[in-house]
Structure 1
Amino acid sequence: MNDLSNDALIKSHWSCTCNPIPTPVLCILPLLFFIGLTVSIFIFVAVHNAIFLISLLIFFALLLSFLLWNSWNWTKQGPILLFLADFPDSDLNTADNGQLVKITGLASCGSLSLESSYEKVPRCVYTSTLLYEYRGFGSNSTIVNGQCFQWSLAHSERFITDFYITDTKSGIRAMVKAGYNSKVTPLIGETTIVNTRSRNRVLSSYLRTWLGERNLSAESRILRLEEGYIKEGSSVTVMGVLNRNNGVAVIGQPPEPISTGCLWRRLLLPADIDGLVLGFSGSIDSATPCSSHDPGH
């Protein structure tokens, strides 16, 4: 079993950053804007020509929109979803050892299966349960370093294990090495199960028990609990490197990160994919953030 809980916490911390935009660029741009604005104002005052000033403002407005667009898509994993949607499906009959492949098929459990933390859904190959807490003015937040007036991740449970996938294109059954010590990029969104609004902060007895089992505070406060999973029999898409061991097809993580390249049709900068990629096939084909509920859920 592979514990990805820390990855969820890191991703939540990065969601407020401007990756994949380099930090030096963000430091240099305000300085360039200030210099350009000073020069353009001087030209406007000296020769009464506002063309340079207007052009500068339009250029930086477009540049700011471009950076904000990339920042927002980074938090939604847009570049990775588009890259996967454009990557052609592979045929395991003709794929070579060491080749990067994208396989779509039905997932089935291996020697170990998982159970979702809150809804207790059995026979899963991937589970993710995230607890968010809202820190407002005068609220009883338990997150010391959480910022005011926004949701912060208070607790995460995200696990994945080795499983099998039956390729719909070739009919071959392959093992997906996503278990212990494997790097995995899950594109599985979570669905909101519990949401204690500001007018109704009373926690249910089941939620209180669930919090108590994890040594979390059961005080009445604004919480949002989300859960997502891949149940056995779900149609999933896996992207990784193919290896054959004694005639058995095994899909594992690439030896080094893969770059999506510039996606100019969506005006997106390159992003690196580190590890095996896993997502629901329908959500990847539409290149939108994945839903945690598949048709069989």
Structure 2
Amino acid sequence: MVTCGAAPLETSYQNISRCVYVSTELYEYRGWDGLPVDSKHRPFSWGLRHSERHVSDFYISDPNSGTRFLVRAGNGARVVSFVKPATIVEMTKKNKELNPNFLTWLAEHNISGESRVLRLEEGFIKEGGTASVMGILRKHESLTIIDQPRDIISTGCQWHRCFFPLHVEGLILIGDRSPEAVCHV
């Protein structure tokens, strides 16, 4: 169970408050004659146009033992997140006028939506939700803290589950539930 720390976050597009992790990504589809987002953006594919990701310190509680842990994920900590985002808005040339909130959000972020196919995805971990955290457990006075490891860690290998070795630097934050999409256009 997740509880906010001193600095709760709010999602960029949906304005969902009391979050400990938020991620907003805007993708642009490139057709045959479209301009690439970057040098690796190939025709007929989605390219990342804009990305925001924030995480703050938060508490996590074990429901079985009642133990509460402080997860130090903010203030420059390296965090590798596995939080599944939901597609919130897809804008094409045909439905451009149907979502004025999306057009306002684009204008606030100085992004042109003219004659482009865009997709906005937002992921979050909200207070009261569940999450899994992997890091180093430390004790400081009466507080139990989960910190990022000093070195790169390896997750190991489980061939029967098609899980290959992975080397990770920082805390590992796993959102146990995918956020529900608020609106689709």
Relative to the length of structure 2, the TM-score reads 0.89
Q: Which residue of 2 aligns with 1:143?
A: 37
Counterpart mapping for 1:1-297 below 5 A:
106-139=1-34, 141=35, 143-145=37-39, 146-197=41-92, 200=94, 202-203=96-97, 204-281=99-176, 291-293=178-180
Q: CA deviation at 1:260?
A: 2.0
Q: Which runs of 5+ in 2 are unaligned?
A: none
Which is helix-richer, 1 or 2? 1
Q: Is the contact between residue 154 and residue 166 of structure 2 (CA under 8 Å) also seen in structure 1? A: yes
Q: 1:277 & 1:147 partners in 2: Cα distance?
A: 31
* Contact 2:2-2:58 within 8 A present in 1 as well: yes
Pair 1:209–1:133, CA change in 2 (3 A): same
Q: Which runs of 5+ in 1 are unaligned?
A: 1-105, 284-290
**CA pair 236-270 structure 1, distance change in 2 beyond 3 A:** same
Higher Rg? 1
Q: Deviations over 1:10-52 (max 9, x none)?
A: xxxxxxxxxxxxxxxxxxxxxxxxxxxxxxxxxxxxxxxxxxx
What is the one-letter code of the residue matched to 1:176?
V
CA contact (8 A) 1:201 1:222 kept: no
Amino acid at match of 1:124: C
Q: Given residue 8 of structure 2, which amino acid in structure 1 is its aligned partner?
A: S
Aligned residues: CA RMSD: 1.9
- Distance, in Å, in 2 between the alignment partners of 1:201 and 1:144 is 26
Letter aligned with residue 292 of structure 1: P
The CA deviation at 1:267 is 4.6
Q: Distance in 1 between matches of 2:36 and 2:16?
A: 28
TM-score, normalised to structure 1, is 0.57
- Verify the 8 A CA contact 2:84 2:175 in the aligned structure 1: no
User: Are the aligned partners of 1:129 and 1:158 in contact in 2 as well (CA < 8 Å)?
Assistant: yes
Cα drift, residue 279 of structure 1: 1.3
Query: Does the C-alpha gap of structure 1 residues 280 and 144 become closer, same or farther in structure 2, counting only changes over 3 Å?
Result: closer
SS at match of 1:243: strand
Q: CA separation of 1:237/1:202 partners in 2, compared to 1, >3 Å: closer, same or farther?
A: same
Deviation by residue 1:207-247 (Cα, 9 ceiling, x = unmatched): 11111111111313101100111111001111111111111
Whole-angstrom distance in 1 between the partners of 2:180 and 2:15: 15
**Which residue identity does 2:140 align to in structure 1?**
N
1:110–1:267: structure 2 CA closer, same or farther, 3 Å change rule? closer
